[in-house]
């Protein structure tokens, strides 16, 4: 497509140019202007980080990281090249890296971004809640998906073919083309979404909504009845009884029980709801394991001190058969529930959790 000037003399075609010819840099120019006008390439987005790379053993960084109104993370990958290079592969890698981020981790990243931009007075946590229209974080609805937006002067056939195929497998990748034009002494930029085509986007959304509705008809919020029906069927009466014991015990010190969602397996988490934050220590799954919530505790004020989490890990490792490694101190390590059929192991598990509960409640 071309852009023309309309005048009394007729149509005059504007001269196409390129970002490379115009010496537009990816980071210093393109990234800088798009971060403040992100709605031009993806409306309804809050940019929460720039050059994001808060992961171990990687020097790679996401150009821009955003959050959309549905609480999904959005990875923006920017290129000034004429073919897009291998940006779809980079973006998929980045998407996988941020896919486990929690609300508090995103808030921390946003705080760093605001500080670097000179907006220290903005409360990142409240700004995110306001953007989403939430009164408090809803972790089970936060960052359930990661969307990808590729921005380039153009895209090769290989790239667009790959993106179309990935989108047909339920990924959400958009390609936005930036075509610069020269007009007198000005540089104009034509911004066009080329995948998916704008005229097909609404149809594709309806198709995805229908598919999601069909999945939701299978997926459900578990409750005590459905959880234990599944537990007995998949793991047997003994582990169902262990789960029941932990549920009833958890009710004695928790604020409420959170029941999970899922097509195949169910779960529950005893939650401690304080005035400023909610805490979780373990999660019981119908697959027969106990997930220790170090990834949550590492983002809570009363357990941010790694030494406290290491002490909790040490107490759990006193259980015969448990060997949690220190590299899991901010992750989601699992303990086989079968180990707690031994009374002494159950006793040690409860003591370790109660120790953590006391720290949370007494501070």
Q: How large is the average pLDDT for residues 300-312? A: 92
CATH tag, 4-215: 3.40.1350.10
How many Å apart are CA 293 and CA 331, to the nearest integer?
7
| Total count of residues recorded for the chain | 363
Preceding omega of 196 cis (within 30 degrees of 0): yes
Residue % of the chain over a pLDDT of 70? 91
Residue 208 has pLDDT above 60, yes or no: no
Contact 65, 55 (CB under 8 A): no
Burial class (CB in 10 A: 0-12, 13-18, 19+), 129: middle
- The mean pLDDT of 351-361, rounded to a whole number, is 95
State the pLDDT at residue 219. Answer: 47
In this prediction, residue 311 carries a pLDDT of 96
Give pLDDT tens digits for 148-184: 999 998 898 999 999 999 988 888 999 999 989 988 8
Strand bridging mode 267-273 / 146-152:
unpaired
> Average pLDDT of 10-25?
86
Residue 1 DSSP SS3: coil
CA distance 265 to 232: 12
Give the pLDDT band (50/70/90) at residue 81.
confident
Q: Are 70 and 141 within 8 A, CB to CB?
A: no
| CA pseudo-torsion sign 219, 220, 223, 229 | negative
Share of the chain above pLDDT 90, in %: 58
Asked if pLDDT for residue 304 goes beyond 90, the answer is no
- The predicted model scores a pTM of 0.57
Nearest to 67 by CA among 113, 123, 132: 132
Does residue 146 surpass a pLDDT of 60? Answer: yes
| Helix, strand, coil share of the chain (percent; to 5) | 45, 25, 30
Residue in the block written with tokens 């192991």: 345
- Give me 161's structure tokens: 């073919």
- Most confident stretch, 139-148, 153-162, 306-315: 306-315
Q: What is the pLDDT of residue 363?
A: 64
Going by C-alpha positions, the residue among 131, 139, 132, 195 that lies closest to residue 163 is: 195
Closest by Cα among 353, 336, 223 to 279:
353
- Angle, CA 255 vertex, CA 218 and CA 282 arms, to 5°: 65
In the prediction, which pLDDT does 217 show? 45
Query: How many CB atoms are closer than 10 A to CB 210?
Result: 10
pLDDT > 60? residue 113:
yes
Q: What is the pLDDT of residues 284-298, one digit of tens each?
A: 999 999 999 999 899
Residues whose CB falls within 8 Å of the CB of residue 91, separated by 6 or more in sequence, listed in order? 75, 77, 148, 150, 173
Going by C-alpha positions, the residue among 242, 349, 317 that lies closest to residue 285 is 242
Distance CA 272, CA 256 (A): 7
């Amino acid at each position: 497509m071309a852009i023309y000037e309309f005048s009394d003399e007729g149509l005059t075609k504007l001269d196409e140019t390129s970002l490379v010819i115009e010496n537009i840099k990816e980071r210093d120019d393109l990234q800088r202007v798009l971060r403040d006008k992100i709605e031009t390439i993806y409306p309804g987005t809050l940019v929460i980080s720039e050059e994001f790379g808060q992961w171990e053993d990687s020097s790679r960084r996401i150009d821009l990281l955003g959050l959309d109104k549905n609480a999904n993370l959005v990875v923006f990958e920017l290129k000034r090249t004429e073919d897009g290079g291998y940006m779809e592969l980079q973006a998929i890698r980045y998407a996988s890296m941020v896919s486990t981020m929690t609300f508090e981790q995103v808030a921390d990243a946003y705080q760093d971004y605001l500080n670097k931009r000179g907006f220290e007075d903005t409360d990142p946590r409240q700004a995110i809640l306001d953007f989403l229209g939430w009164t408090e974080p809803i972790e089970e609805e936060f960052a359930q998906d990661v969307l990808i937006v590729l921005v380039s002067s153009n895209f090769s056939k290989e790239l667009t073919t790959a993106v179309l195929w990935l989108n047909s497998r339920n990924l959400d990748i958009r390609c936005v083309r930036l075509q610069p034009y020269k007009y007198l002494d000005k540089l104009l930029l034509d911004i066009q979404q080329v995948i998916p085509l704008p005229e097909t986007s609404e149809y594709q959304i309806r198709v995805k909504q229908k598919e999601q509705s069909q999945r939701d008809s299978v997926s459900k919020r578990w409750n005590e009845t459905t959880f234990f029906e599944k537990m007995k069927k998949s793991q047997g009466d003994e582990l169902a009884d262990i789960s029941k014991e932990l549920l009833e015990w958890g009710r004695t010190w928790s604020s409420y029980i959170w029941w999970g969602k899922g097509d195949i397996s169910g779960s529950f988490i005893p939650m401690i709801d304080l005035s400023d934050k909610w805490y979780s220590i373990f999660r019981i799954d119908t697959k027969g394991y106990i997930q220790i919530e170090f990834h949550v505790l590492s983002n809570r004020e009363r357990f941010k001190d790694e030494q406290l989490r290491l002490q909790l890990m040490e107490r759990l490792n006193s259980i015969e058969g448990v060997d949690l490694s220190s590299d899991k101190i901010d992750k989601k390590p699992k303990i086989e529930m079968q180990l707690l059929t031994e009374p002494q192991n159950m006793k040690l598990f409860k003591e370790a959790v109660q120790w953590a509960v006391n720290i949370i409640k007494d501070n």
